[in-house]
Structure 1
Amino acid sequence: MLNDKVAVIYGGAGSLGAGIAEAYTRAGARVFLAGRTEATLRKVAAGTGSEYDVLDACDEAAVESHAASVVERAGRLDVSVNLVPRGDFQGVPLTEMSVEDYTRPVVRGITCQFITARTAARLMTAQGSGVILSLNSASGNGSPMMGGTGAADGAIDALVRQLAQEAGPAGVRVCGIWTAGVTDTLTPEKLAAAGAPLMDEAAVQGIRGHLDGLRMTRRSPQVADIAALATFLASDAGRAITGTWVNATAGMFPS
């Protein structure tokens, strides 16, 4: 589905990045992973047949230089995916949350997404085609106890819709995926980083079960599901889809 396509995955060393990279390379794409930690990037690259570069996706100059180098090495840029963590902090009522904890995912999230999307859009507009993908939890639709995640998601939702309108006439598609949590990416360490108390695997499994119960299908999306969807959206099979968010929450909410 992606033969001869060139893709960059920002935040590519995480569970979702690895899953999408594997799916993209299997579909025929040449994949460049980008992130801040070389050790994890190297490991994912080796396991997925990808290439990697170390950079901070919130560094405007670094992102622009890197994208130009991808075009120089591969001849073009067809797909840009941003999965960069934002430092979300959850599980605390807004009335008890600090300004910093609330605003951090909003400022970091929209800054990083804007930089990578704008950079890709400029290159793709020049070549007359391309796909820009984002992903979030869908909390912009309203979710309690999610802190600044809702505001960050809402801002990125709006960015995708606006950029799609502006870049569409040049042949560039921009869309996103709502997941409301990909349960096989959850670990005690990741949950603790988001504000949860450190818990054992049994407790994490309980959270996975709770999330499953909130879905219409009683099954949460998995990495393989999101990777398959991201492959479809990046391919010509998805060429009629732009300016929207695909609801892959397994029915966490209707849309």
Structure 2
Amino acid sequence: MVLEGKIAVITGAGPGLGRTLARLMADEGAKVAVAARTPATLEAIAAETGALAVPTDVTDPEAVQALAATVHERFGRIDVLVNAAFPGTYRKNVLDMDAAYLSKWREVVDIAAYGTLLACRYLAPYMVAQGSGSIVNITSMSSRSGYAGRSDYAAGKAAVHLLSHCLADELGPHGVRVNCVAPGWIASAVLDDWMAARAAAEGTTFEEIHARDTAAMALRRIATEEDIARAVLHFASDASATTTGAVLDVNGGQHFA
């Protein structure tokens, strides 16, 4: 078990990727703490994986500081931090942004970039004190390829890429590594619904849209949550002991950086 004896914290732990990460890390021997804004979701993950559930708003400095203290008090150390908060996107063209939307745009960037910074700020000192640790930030293919209507999500995730490079340089001398995993599309009901909507708009079938989309990927398949989680596991484990400041793209060859 590649995480035997390690303590892992997952922020933004939702019912999708966050749940899969918690299960996989627990299966690989880690003791896991999950943090997000929705207590019910966290309790469900905790019941399934044995994780410690800590309701947390990642954009609230006091809440994140309390998360760090709670985990360290319970387990005595922190070895892995995975920042997986998914801010979503509200899909608006810049010419259509009103005052209400601009506030939402800022909220998305705050969750992605500021939330990641806060988690690193308050959990990394425990890693520095013990002389080792791994931080894995979940970014996105969208941080490297801009699309109309997704400037909020793209800007937030792109900020995390460069933030990670800065933190890798700052924390490296203390034995702490910082890397990114950048998913493309992830197989899910949400993705299927989007493909179905496109099919309806074009007067074609879901199967045709799916075939067309996957044909544009070198591996001809869409990544699963498990695929993404295993990439995170690589950076979390000692298998990547001399890797820091890296971005691992997991998109089936949909986009080459």
Say whether the fold is shared (TM-score over 0.5).
yes
Question: 2:236 — aligned with what?
Answer: 234
How far, CA to CA, are the matches of 2:111 and 2:191 in structure 1?
Answer: 23
- The answer to whether residue 134 in structure 2 is matched with residue 131 in structure 1 is yes
Q: TM-score, normalised by structure 1?
A: 0.87
How far, CA to CA, are the matches of 2:10 and 2:208 in structure 1?
Answer: 31
* Closer, same or farther: CA 89–218 of 1 in aligned 2, 3 Å: same
CA apart distance, 1:184: 2.3
How far, CA to CA, are the matches of 1:97 and 1:205 in structure 2?
Answer: 34
Question: 1:69 — aligned with what?
Answer: 70
* Closer, same or farther: CA 210–76 of 1 in aligned 2, 3 Å: farther
* Paired residues for 1:81-160 under 5 Å: 81-90=82-91, 92-98=92-98, 99-145=102-148, 146-160=150-164
How far, CA to CA, are the matches of 2:208 and 2:22 in structure 1?
Answer: 29
Amino acid at match of 2:241: R
How far, CA to CA, are the matches of 1:185 and 1:51 in structure 2?
Answer: 27
How far, CA to CA, are the matches of 2:32 and 2:63 in structure 1?
Answer: 18
Deviation string, structure 1 residues 205-244 (Cα, Å, up to 9, x no partner)? 7776554333211111101111111111100011122102
* Closer, same or farther: CA 39–2 of 1 in aligned 2, 3 Å: same
Question: 1:223 — aligned with what?
Answer: 225
Once superposed, which parts of structure 1, at least 4 consecutive aligned residues long, lie more than 6 Å away? 202-207
Matched-pair contact (CA < 8 Å) for 1:136–1:180 = no
Q: TM-score, normalised by structure 2?
A: 0.87
* Paired residues for 1:172-251 under 5 Å: 172-184=176-188, 186=190, 211-251=213-253
* Closer, same or farther: CA 212–158 of 1 in aligned 2, 3 Å: same
Larger displacement relative to structure 2 (211-220 or 146-155): 211-220
Amino acid at match of 1:163: L
Which secondary structure state, in structure 1, belongs to the residue aligned with residue 32 of structure 2? strand
How far, CA to CA, are the matches of 1:206 and 1:84 in structure 2?
Answer: 32
Question: 1:170 — aligned with what?
Answer: 174
Larger displacement relative to structure 2 (73-82 or 131-140): 131-140
CA apart distance, 1:94: 3.2
CA apart distance, 1:101: 4.3
Matched-pair contact (CA < 8 Å) for 1:105–1:148 = yes
Matched-pair contact (CA < 8 Å) for 2:8–2:31 = yes
Matched-pair contact (CA < 8 Å) for 2:141–2:255 = no
How far, CA to CA, are the matches of 2:48 and 2:213 in structure 1?
Answer: 29
Matched-pair contact (CA < 8 Å) for 2:3–2:25 = yes
Identity of aligned residues (%): 31
Question: 2:13 — aligned with what?
Answer: 12
Aligned length: 246
Matched-pair contact (CA < 8 Å) for 1:89–1:147 = no
Larger displacement relative to structure 2 (23-32 or 213-222): 213-222
